[in-house]
Amino acid sequence: MSNMQPGIVERIQSTFDRLWLQIRICLALSETEFALRAEKGAFGVWGVLFEPLALILTLLGLRILIRLKSTDLLNPVIWLAVGVALLYMFRKIGIKALTGVSKRQKFFFYRRIRPLDTLLASALIEARIHGTVLFIIFIGVSFWSWQVKLDDPALVLVDFLLTIILGLGVGISALVIGHRIPIVKTLTKFGINRLLLWTSGIFYATYTLPGPIRPFVTWNPLLHSVELMRHGINLAYPIPGISLQYLFVCSSVSCGFGLLFYFLNEALLLADD
């Protein structure tokens, strides 16, 4: 028994060291890509944040112009920002993964870097960008109205993390399928993008929809993500047909299947285009 103990400890330490190395690789890739994005823009780091901020302001102006009806239970800026930020974070992590690996082929010269590392790095960047945008808008609106309202911070945080996992799972699956069936890339970019736009709750609150209409949009786990975060900010915000359990199951299943597809097809992704 005493002879086995050192061996077990060494294996645990070796596993921990490899895991820590992969974490450091992902962090390094994330910092490298973030720096490259900042260098390309005219405004540096602020330019990276400008795109989602500008989009939110544009949609807010459109909403005011055509007087779209929304809920009075949340500030309209925060209400819209939640939907836009979560949708575009999901799109950047998930759908953008279709072309993300081919652009980073040069990194695979290093034996320790794999396509999954680049996807994790991209997910980390998008989480930082869109999380920062949401934080800036929330703090700005709170100072403007002199009222800080965040009823369930734990729900908001869990919802945000599950959305990242959901996007990562979809992204890994789309990456593998897109490499095997190239037409999927086109269908995804032009079809699913628009489907997500109109079923993710950016322009409407679920409780304002007639009961018979809700099943046509509540299949989308991203709608659950958006509405749950709004509910976490104000618990009085009603969320009929919305479930944290459904979002958790969709995120877990998509990530599980995505990782399975990835490890079965990693050699394909490492091959030169």
Note whether 126 and 89 are within 8 A (CB).
yes
Task: Please give the span between the terminal C-alpha atoms of the chain, in angstroms, as a whole number.
Answer: 52
Percentage of the chain beyond pLDDT 90 is: 21
- Say how far apart CA 154 and CA 42 lie, in whole Å: 37
What are the boundaries of each domain within the chain? 22-270
Angle, helices 76-94 vs 115-145, to 10°: value is 170
Across residues 104-120, what is the average pLDDT? 64
- Say how far apart CA 164 and CA 123 lie, in whole Å: 7
State the pLDDT confidence band at 233, using cuts at 50, 70 and 90: very high
* Cα distances (angstroms) measured from residue 62 to each of 45, 84, 205: 27, 13, 17
Residue 126 CB: number of other CB atoms within 10 A? 23
The winner for highest mean pLDDT among 55-69, 98-112, 192-206 is 192-206
- Say how far apart CA 178 and CA 102 lie, in whole Å: 12
pLDDT above 70 for 126: yes
What integer pLDDT is reported at residue 129 of this predicted model?
85
pLDDT above 90 for 156: yes
pTM over 0.85: no
pLDDT above 70 for 48: no
Across residues 92-110, what is the average pLDDT? 60
Going by the DSSP 8-state scheme, the letter that residue 238 receives in this structure is -
